[in-house]
Amino acid sequence: MNLILKLLGTGASLGAGILSAKLLDFLWTRITGNEPPRDKDGVLDVSLRTAVTFAVVSGAVSQAIRVLTNRGTQRAIQRYQKTPEVV
């Protein structure tokens, strides 16, 4: 059962990552009025400050999502180990 919970945790992490990336892109566009910096055909036509700011914000959101999903998975595993017959 631990394998199933770990797979569900991985799936939740992937889903949350995709959702947070979409939300971050939307919020970046709403707040700055510009599209998020993306490398298109080897050309990044934004300032270094904009690219670094987006990278820092994106990395922080990514790590926060990763920590939260890992904690949730660990809680679910601990809950299952305490009462396996209920789950």
Q: Give the 3-state DSSP-derived string for 14-82, with helices as H, strands as E and coil as C.
A: HHHHHHHHHHHHHHHHHHHCCCCCCCECCECCCCHHHHHHHHHHHHHHHHHHHHHHHHHHHHHHHHHHH
pTM over cut 0.75: no
Over residues 60-75, the pLDDT tens digits come to: 998 998 888 888 878 8
Over residues 35-61, the pLDDT tens digits come to: 888 877 777 778 889 889 999 999 999
